[in-house]
């Protein structure tokens, strides 16, 4: 239930936030809540990835992609997530999630997430995503054209090159 409440708040707040460009950074502020904790009394590693979902939703909302996807009855898919944990987050600790599209090719879009607390990196992740319609993937060039973005992808990073060796199963 906690994430549904956070999602609802995200939808409401997005109405007053400025629109994002394709590669603009989304920054969301959260607090660790009791139902985010694991038995070690710090934020559960799975919760990190769930919170990062909210960062991608914010990007989709504020670029206009989410409205277009719903209208066309398309849906987003995650192909892979590579998460690194550096520090724990404790109960009621404030943190910020920074999310940004950093690379794309014809099929995949890569989103980088970084969580910070007290000015220190807590966790980072690279998430490989795509949009699907019934029976097939929507190509990234088609998405960009429909959204009115005319951008070239930034250069692929070495980390993404490494992760692409582990192509998700079809």
Q: What is the pLDDT of residues 133-170, one digit of tens each?
A: 999 999 999 999 998 888 899 999 999 988 887 765 55
Predicted confidence at residue 150, as pLDDT, reads 84
Please state at what angle helix 65-72 crosses helix 45-63, rounded to 10 degrees.
Answer: 90
Identify which of 57, 96, 63 has the alpha carbon closest to the alpha carbon of residue 78: 57
pLDDT given at position 3: 87
CATH architecture of 2-164: Roll (3.10)
Q: Which of 40, 55, 27 lies closest to 91 in space, CA to CA?
A: 40
Whole-angstrom Cα distance, residue 29 to residue 102? 21
Q: Beta 136-138 vs 109-117: how paired, if at all?
A: unpaired
pLDDT tens, the chain, 170 aa long: 468 999 999 999 999 999 999 999 999 999 999 999 999 999 999 999 999 999 999 999 999 999 999 999 999 999 999 999 999 999 999 999 999 999 999 999 999 999 999 999 999 999 999 999 999 999 999 999 998 888 899 999 999 988 887 765 55
Taking the domains of the chain in order of start, what are their residue ranges?
Answer: 2-164
């Amino acid at each position: 239930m906690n994430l549904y409440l956070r999602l609802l708040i995200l939808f409401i707040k997005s109405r007053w936030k400025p629109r994002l460009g394709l590669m603009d950074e989304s920054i969301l502020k959260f607090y660790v809540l009791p139902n985010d904790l694991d038995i070690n009394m710090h934020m559960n590693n799975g919760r990190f990835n769930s919170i990062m979902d909210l960062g991608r939703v914010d990007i989709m909302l504020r670029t206009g992609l989410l409205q277009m996807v719903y209208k066309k009855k398309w849906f987003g898919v995650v192909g892979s997530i590579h998460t690194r944990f550096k520090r724990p987050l404790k109960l009621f600790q404030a943190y910020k999630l920074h999310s940004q599209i950093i690379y794309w090719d014809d099929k995949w879009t890569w989103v980088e997430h970084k969580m910070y607390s007290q000015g220190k990196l807590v966790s980072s992740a690279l998430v490989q995503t795509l949009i699907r319609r019934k029976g097939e993937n929507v190509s990234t060039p088609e998405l960009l054209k429909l959204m009115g973005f005319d951008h070239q992808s930034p250069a692929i990073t070495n980390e993404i090159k490494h992760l692409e060796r582990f192509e998700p199963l079809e």
